[in-house]
A = this chain, B = another copy of it.
Amino acid sequence: MTNQKATNVTWHDGDITYKDRYNRLGQKGVTLWFTGLSGSGKSTVTVALEKALFKLGKMSYRLDGDNIRSGINKNLGFSPEDRTENIRRIGEISKLYCDTGIIALSSFISPYRADRDQARKLHEDGGYSFIEVHVDCTLAEAEKRDPKGLYKKARAGEIKNFTGIDAPYEAPLNAEITICTDKMTLEQEIETILNYLQEHRYLMA
């Protein structure tokens, strides 16, 4: 990005709006909502997508357990009510990022369809796009990968309310994008997502 040092930039007289920010950044603010089982590959794909977008000159930001569960939502647990409030808050933050002009890569198990639909409604009611990305993978495969050893603990009863074991995962019915991480390469997954974003003109103002 080149600094704009000229003081004669033209913009309208009112407040700076999301449209001004989109024009400046050369992209639209949009939320990509990654949902899938623990171990399905959400982090792997969002980290790679963030790099690919950066390479294309696009600004994205990953919202995930690392910066949300230990930050704004550290006062929430894993009961159904807390999971709902967790996703509600993440939906609101993602929407702020859309308004800011940033591509939000929101990556959470988010097992309940109603919660995801609520996050979608929040965006669409505000005029922002919500792109649901189903990070699809069989439970058997996710459990085999078990990158954090959590399935093992859940099977041993050391973790309760674990999605896929003793808590439900409600798969999307109409996700905009589905990536099958047990069938596709990471490159194919990224290509699928970038193609969608380009075809729908999100990567231009």
Contact = CB atoms under 8 A, between A and B. Distances in A.
Given A54-B20, A93-B72, A1 B15 contact: no
Contacts of A56: 3-5
A26 interface: yes
Contacts of A1: 1-2, 24-26, 57
Contact of A16 (B3, B7, B54, B89): B54
A96 interface: yes
B2 A55 contact: no
A102 B99 contact: no
Contact of A93 (B51, B75, B93): B93
Contacts of A7: 55
Contacts of A89: 72, 89
Given A2-B1, A16-B51, A59 B92 contact: no
A161 interface: no
A67 B96 contact: yes
A15 B47 contact: yes
Q: How many copies does the complex hold?
A: 2
A120 to B, nearest CB: 15
Number of contact residues on A: which range applies? 35 or more
Contacts of A96: 61, 63, 67, 71-72, 93
Contacts of A83: none
A4 B51 contact: no
Interface in A9-66: 9, 11, 15-16, 20-21, 24-26, 47, 50-51, 54-57, 59, 61, 63
A107 interface: no
A9 B55 CA distance: 6
Contacts of A47: 15
A47 B85 CA distance: 31
3 A-B pairs closest in CB distance: A4-B57, A72-B92, A1-B1
Given A59-B100, A72-B96, 4 more contacts: A5-B57, A16-B51, A20-B54, A100-B102
